[in-house]
Amino acid sequence: MKIKPLRDDIKEYLISHKLTKKFEKARRMFENDLRHPSLNTELLEPAHRGIYSFRLDLKYRALFFIDGDTAEVFAVTNHYK
């Protein structure tokens, strides 16, 4: 499964929080195997909304939804805020 190109605001967030390399590493793992154990991919509650997340590191997660055979990341968040 491929990840759609990121919106500019998400790219800026990754740059400002020094997460660009971590995101690219996670993207490669995701596109090879979206259930890779390091990603800790999960369906968030409530499940009917279809929002998933995968781990960039212990602090940050990427939120996404699946549209056909692609995933669209719509936010990168601090997991503990």
Q: How far apart are CA 44 and CA 63, in angstroms?
A: 9
**Within 10 A of 6 (CB to CB), how many other CB atoms are there?**
18
Q: What is the mean pLDDT of the chain?
A: 95
Tell me the CATH number of domain 2-78, given options 3.30.465.10, 1.10.1060.10, 3.90.400.10, 3.30.2310.20.
3.30.2310.20
Query: pTM of the entire structure?
Result: 0.92
In the chain, what are the domain boundaries?
Answer: 2-78
Mean pLDDT computed over 57-80: 94
Digit-coded pLDDT (tens) for 16-55: 999 999 999 999 999 999 999 999 999 999 999 999 999 9
Cβ neighbours for 62, distance < 8 A, ≥ 6 positions apart: 23, 26, 53, 54, 56, 73, 75, 76
